[in-house]
């Protein structure tokens, strides 16, 4: 989806891509998940949190898609991997989880990796990197709220509200900048973005029904492999040494946090249940 969004952003406003992603995905999802097929799906015990979760996912998509307009996919992907590190810091005051010395060191090392990738204060730093960091911040809020909501609402309810909120927010914002595509290829990619957005979240729901989050969460980091391959094949962009080194540090820190959370029998910080 990120690769398709980057390709679309060369031809249209990022807000338009985000709106297409949410409107299309929600309409596809609503064909299978709706009040008729799932009675009570709109019933939430924490409706405000559902709205905040939807807004945080929208914010992540907007920041990430906009950053992809100018930055390589691997760089944006690597920076957004900082989200679990922020979650580890927020888990204390928000979820009441203690941040021990080992996890604290892992978080510090992870943020050093982010600094290696972005290199603030040097010629390698680009303003769009702030957007990638914004996406990571929104993802952190999204992960935290997801963990709270999992105690109150079903995954189907959360999935439905995520698409609904994203569509209601993104479509009105995209109307002033909307430009109707006149190429069939663009329409095909738009449809692909919507389809992938719907299928990906549904696969996450099914995966988390079949296996615990601690088993599934490491797969979160395979995104960097796909980002590298697709970035090279589609755009001819290979990650530089700073991105590879920094990304490796961030991934290593995230995997260590996952290991510590499994030892402590805590739901992983990168639980991305839709």
Backbone φ and ψ for 113, nearest 5 degrees, come out as: -60, -40
d(CA 245, CA 200): 28
d(CA 248, CA 245): 5
pLDDT for 131 equals 93
**Model-level pTM greater than 0.95?**
no
State both tokens at 203: 């696969």
Residues 6+ apart with CB under 8 A from 158: 50, 53, 146, 149, 150, 273, 274
pLDDT for 104 equals 80
Q: On the CB side of 34, how many CA atoms lie within 13 Å of its CA?
A: 8
DSSP structural state of residue 81: T
* pLDDT beneath 50: ranges in the chain: 269-274
**120 phi-psi bin (left φ>0, alpha ψ -120 to 50, beta other):** beta
Nearest by Cα to 154 from 80, 267, 46? 46
> With contact defined as beta carbons under 8 Å apart, do 230 and 73 qualify?
yes
pLDDT for 214 equals 60
> With contact defined as beta carbons under 8 Å apart, do 123 and 65 qualify?
no
Backbone φ and ψ for 169, nearest 5 degrees, come out as: -85, -45
Summary mean pLDDT of the chain: 84
d(CA 95, CA 113): 26
């Amino acid at each position: 989806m990120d690769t398709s969004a980057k390709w679309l952003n060369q031809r249209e406003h990022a807000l338009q891509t985000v709106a297409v992603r949410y409107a299309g995905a929600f309409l596809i999802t609503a064909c299978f998940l709706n009040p008729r097929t799932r009675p009570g799906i709109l019933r939430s015990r924490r409706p405000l949190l559902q709205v905040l979760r939807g807004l945080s996912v929208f914010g992540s998509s907007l920041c990430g898609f906009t950053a992809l307009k100018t930055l390589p996919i691997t760089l944006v992907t690597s920076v957004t991997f900082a989200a679990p590190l922020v979650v580890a810091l927020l888990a204390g005051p928000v979820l009441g989880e203690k941040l021990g010395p080992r996890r604290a060191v892992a978080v510090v090392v992870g943020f050093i990796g982010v600094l290696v990738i972005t290199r603030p204060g040097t010629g390698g730093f680009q303003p769009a990197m702030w957007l990638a960091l914004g996406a990571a911040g929104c993802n952190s809020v999204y992960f935290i709220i997801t963990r709270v909501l999992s105690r109150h609402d079903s995954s189907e309810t959360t999935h439905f509200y995520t698409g609904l909120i994203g569509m209601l927010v993104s479509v009105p914002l995209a109307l002033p900048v909307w430009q109707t595509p006149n190429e069939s290829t663009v329409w095909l990619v738009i449809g692909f973005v919507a389809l992938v957005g719907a299928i990906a979240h549904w696969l996450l729901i099914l995966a988390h029904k079949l296996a615990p989050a601690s088993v599934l969460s490491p797969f979160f980091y395979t995104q960097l492999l796909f980002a590298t391959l697709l970035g090279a094949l589609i755009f001819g962009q290979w990650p530089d040494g700073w991105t590879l080194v920094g990304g490796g540090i961030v991934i290593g820190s995230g995997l260590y946090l996952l290991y510590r959370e499994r030892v402590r029998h805590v739901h992983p910080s990168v639980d991305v249940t839709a």
